[in-house]
Amino acid sequence: MDDASSQRKSTEDAVVSQDQDQVTAPEPGDQEIEYPGYSEDVVALLRKIAEKMKAGGYGWECREVYLVGRRNILMRTLKHDCEFEKVSIDEVQKMSWGELEREIPIWTKTFKNCSSLFFPGELKLAEKIFPGDEGSLFCIVAHGLTIQFLGFAEAVAMTKRSTEKLFKILDIYETLRDSFPPMEELFWEELRSELRNEVTSARSRLGESAINIFSDLENSIKSDSSKTPVPGGAVHPLTRYTMNYLKYSCEYKDTLEQVFKSHSKMEQEEEVPANNSACSAFASQLMRIMDLLDGNMEAKSKLYKDIPLSCIFMMNNGRYIVQKIKGSAEIHEVMGDTWCRRRSSELRNYHKSYQRETWGKLLGFLGHEGLMHNGKIVKPNLKERFKSFNATFDEIHKTQTTWVINDEQLQSELRVSITAVMIPAYRAFMARFGQYLDPGRQTEKYVKYQPEDIEDLIDELFEGNTSSSSIATAKRRT
């Protein structure tokens, strides 16, 4: 073997020796690990070999061996440490969402590690072995891989839109935003400009895709025109889905505000409500979605023939929305206290409507009108009044025990407010008129409930109970 061949072989052996001692990518915040991890002795040997080959007229061959070795080692390291393998744009387009959902976290981890560890390590190694020529060598090793990274990002942005993809798309967007600037500084100026254009294009596509996904969410709310009421007036699945989606969206609040500001093509005057001119583009988008959801729930409430049940439906959905917002610092920051107070006020109005439509009518039987004539009790009217009250209360109890209020606080508030209205009125009516019924059989026939019985039965409302009514077994108190 001649000297040049021997030197090329030594260079190749030294370079690929890295493959026998893989570097593990650091966890976030770990600054202890260095890449590629060669000892100073190995680096000195590689530099000495490179200098001798260059002096012997084999500088080009030395560079080629180095480039092939480093590219192979870098790819093997990425596969070993990040589970990364090259994926073409066509392959991305053909992947199912399940497959792509697994690939994106690998891509983000690899891109971040290349920006902070692997690429700086490659440049540093080239600098030590080929001083003065390190930039071109590093660019050759890293440029193609970087272009491939950016191609993957654009390919994801071009896949068919669906609401479930939003958060992974934003992960890619954030990675490009945060990890590309330190990466681009490693490249020569001409390549830096090219890569910057590629990143701008990818981020633009990703941003537009995110905005369009929100438009799709709006359209899905608008087009949800199901005519089947939710049993018992419970929280509608569309409300649950939308609020949970918005809650997770607000964990990306800063990024989404940037996306809407930078990539939205909508007119600003359309984005900002008249009463909230200082609102950010993303906050305006959220409020528009909330208004659409409100309108949809309002329309669905009209599917209930029973007005009090429609009020329960609106209270259930409104309380669910408010509690979701209050329970998430991110979404609460976007929507604000003023919005929450306004919604809580609307809930109180539905509460009042429910009280008026259900218990207001029952209270009408406890009035004094028509029960006395010339200072004397009209017993037939009194008996009819007790019969009407009992029948109406029985029907309310039978019906409203099947209605649903999942929020325990709302359930308790309603029961307490009903009790506060009904029990004093019923107790006063009994004290005033109960004495005019003959004791014994007549009292048992017309006075079906004592105030305590009614209080107990009120506490059974809104349980979603479809079994036989407990009224039949209620014990009369004497």
Q: Mean pLDDT across the stretch 340-359?
A: 93
**Residue 57 scores a pLDDT above 50:** yes
Which domains does the chain possess?
3-209 (no CATH), 224-357 (no CATH), 367-473 (1.20.1280.170)
Q: Mean pLDDT across the stretch 67-90?
A: 93
Whether the CB-CB separation of 362 and 392 falls below 8 Å is answered with yes
Provide the pLDDT for residue 268: 43
* HEC-encoded secondary structure of 3-43: HHHHHHHHHHHHHHHHHHCCCCCCCCCCCCCCCCCCCHHHH
**Residue 357 scores a pLDDT above 80:** yes
Whether the CB-CB separation of 362 and 425 falls below 8 Å is answered with no
pLDDT tens per residue across span 191-245: 999 999 999 999 999 999 999 999 999 999 999 988 899 999 999 999 999 999 9
CA distance 302 to 306: 9
pLDDT tens per residue across span 389-400: 999 999 999 999
How far is CA 74 from its chain centroid? 36
Q: Quick one: CA torsion of 25, 29, 30, 36, rounded to 10 degrees?
A: 40
Residue 144 confidence class, pLDDT cut points 50, 70, 90: very high
CA distance 104 to 156: 9
Provide the pLDDT for residue 18: 44
Q: Mean pLDDT across the stretch 381-386?
A: 88
Residue 97 confidence class, pLDDT cut points 50, 70, 90: very high
CA distance 421 to 149: 67
CA distance 448 to 100: 66
**Residue 128 scores a pLDDT above 70:** yes
Provide the pLDDT for residue 468: 45
State which of 160-164, 274-278, 412-416 shows the largest mean pLDDT: 412-416
**Residue 20 scores a pLDDT above 60:** no
Tokens of 235: 């929280």
Provide the pLDDT for residue 265: 65
- The mean of the pLDDT values for the chain is 86
Q: Mean pLDDT across the stretch 430-443?
A: 78
Transcribe 335-360 into DSSP letters: HHHHHHHHHHHHHHHHHHHHHHHHHH
Provide the pLDDT for residue 44: 93
**Residue 373 scores a pLDDT above 80:** no
Tokens of 133: 């020529």
Helix, coil or strand: residue 319: helix
Provide the pLDDT for residue 414: 96
Q: What is the pTM of this model?
A: 0.81
| Backbone phi, psi, residue 315, to 5° | -65, -45
Q: Mean pLDDT across the stretch 402-422?
A: 95
Provide the pLDDT for residue 168: 96
**Residue 99 scores a pLDDT above 60:** yes
**Residue 24 scores a pLDDT above 70:** no
pLDDT tens per residue across span 159-201: 999 999 999 999 999 999 999 999 999 999 989 999 999 999 9
Q: Mean pLDDT across the stretch 134-146?
A: 91
